[in-house]
Amino acid sequence: MKKFVLGAAMAVMMSTAAHAETIGVSMALFDDNFLTVLRNGMSDYAKTLNGVELQIEDAQNDVAKQQSQIQNFIAAGVDAIIVNPVDTDATAAMSKIAADAGVALVYVNREPVNVDTLPDKQAFVASNEQESGTLETQEICKILGGKGKAVVMMGELSNQAARMRTKDVHDVLATEQCKGIEIVEEQTANWSRTQGADLVTNWLSAGVEFDAVISNNDEMAIGAIQALKAAGRSMDSVVIGGVDATQDALAAMAAGDLDVTVFQNAAGQGQGSVDAALKLAKGEPVEKKVYIPFELVTKENLDKYQAKN
C-alpha cells in the first residue's frame, strides 16, 4: 500500500513537472507607470496558473540589451517569450531569432513593425491604437466646441503607439467638426512626466498660447499640469488630455486637473499575452492580432474606473 501511495505521489510530481512551463518576459522599461501595471498584470495572473513561471527582465530602453535577453531566454530553454519592445522598428530581427529557435514569441502593448508578417508561433496582444488618440481628441474637440489652439505632446517616436496616436490627433482635427482647432506646437516628451513638464514650461516661456494639451499618454499630461500650475495658470482655462487611465491620472482627474484620458487595460493585456504565449507554446492556434478595447474616461464616468484601480 505504501509503495502504491508513494508511486502515485511520484506520478503526480512528474506530471506537474512535465506540464510546468516557463515564459521569459523582456519589458522595455521597469521605470514606467503604465508598463509596471502591465508587468504586474502578467505576474499576478501567472500566480493563478498551476506550473507557470515567469522570468521577467528589464531591457532599460536598450534595444541591444533586449535582443540579448531574448537570446538568453532561448539558451535557457524557456517555453515561450513575451516582449514589450523598446523599439518597434527593431522587432523583425527579434522575430527571426525566436523563429529560428522554434520558440513561441508574443509582443505585448507596442505593435511590432512586422505585425502583418509575423512567423508561425508568434502573435501581438494590445489595444488598437486607432482608438486611443481618436477617443481622446474627439472628446477634447467636444469640450472646446471645435475651436481653439492646441499643443501636442508625443511619446517616443521609435514607438508605433506614439506615431499612431499622433496621427489619430491629426485625423480628428481634420474633420468638419474639429477643423477649427489649430495645432500650434507638436514635440516629443518621450512618455516622461519630467520631460512633459519641461516641454510645457518651455512653451509657456516662449509665449506660446494654447487652449488644450493633447498628450500621447497620461505621464506627459501630468507633467503639463505641473508646469501650468507652476506658471500660475488656472486649470479651468485649459483642457488636458492623456491616454492610459493610470492611478495618478485618475487622481488628477478627481482633483479637477485632467479632463480626458483613455483606459488602456494594462492588466488585461498582460493576462492576454500570457494566455497567448502558453497556447502558442502548446501548438494551439492564436489570432495574430489580439485587441483589447480602449475606453474613454471623463469626469462623468470617473467613478467606474477608480473602482477598477
Using CA atoms, how far apart are residues 230 and 214, in angstroms rounded to an integer? 19
What is the predicted pLDDT for the residue at 19?
Answer: 55
Q: CATH no. for residue 43?
A: 3.40.50.2300
The reply to whether 163 and 182 lie within a common domain is: yes
Whether pTM > 0.75 for this model: the answer is yes
The reply to whether 138 and 258 lie within a common domain is: yes
Residue 297 lies in a domain: no
Beta strands at 261-263 and 239-241: parallel, antiparallel or unpaired: unpaired
Contact of 23 with 278, CB cutoff 8 Å: yes
Residue 56 lies in a domain: yes
Residue 244 lies in a domain: yes
The reply to whether 102 and 149 lie within a common domain is: no
pLDDT at 12 over 60: no
Residue 308 lies in a domain: no
pLDDT at 6 over 70: no
For residue 28, the SS3 value is coil
pLDDT digits (tens, 9 = 90+) for 67-98: 999 999 999 999 999 999 999 999 999 999 99
The predicted model gives 20-39 an average pLDDT of: 94
Residue 307 lies in a domain: no
Percent of residues, the chain, with pLDDT higher than 90: 90
Query: How many CB atoms are located within 10 Å of the residue 145 CB?
Result: 11
Structural domain tally of the chain? 2
- For 157, the domain range is 131-264
The reply to whether 256 and 143 lie within a common domain is: yes
The reply to whether 135 and 100 lie within a common domain is: no
Residue 139 lies in a domain: yes
Rg (CA), the chain: 22
Quickly state the pLDDT bin for 33 (edges 50, 70, 90). Answer: confident
What is the predicted pLDDT for the residue at 307?
Answer: 74
